[in-house]
Amino acid sequence: MPYIRKFKTGSGATGIQVCYKEHQKVVRTVHVGSAVSDEGIKRLMKKAQGIIDAEKMPLFNLKKFDK
């Protein structure tokens, strides 16, 4: 189950990671980046959500209905 982790870095910036849990343990971490400004953090959050969404399987395959 992936989730987005926000944390403070040693330099005072905010780091963004996508973490994957299995059986209540983190098994994989993808570092998205770090930013100081609110705008930068928003961009990184969108990028992290894109990483999570890219791995999801759609419930319905609507492409086969396009003609």
Count of domains for the chain: 1
CATH of the domain at 19: 3.30.160
Give mean pLDDT, residues 21-46. 96
Give mean pLDDT, residues 16-39. 96
pLDDT of residue 63: 72
Distant-in-sequence, close-in-space partners of 57: CB < 8 Å, separation ≥ 6: none
Tell me the percentage of the chain whose pLDDT exceeds 70.
94
Is residue 66 included in any domain, yes or no?
A: no
pTM beyond 0.85: the answer is no
pLDDT of residue 65: 66
Is residue 42 included in any domain, yes or no?
A: yes
- The three-state DSSP-derived secondary structure of the chain is CEEEEEEECCCCCEEEEEEEEECCEEEEEEEEEEECCHHHHHHHHHHHHHHHHHCCCCCCCHHHHCC
Domain containing residue 13: 2-57
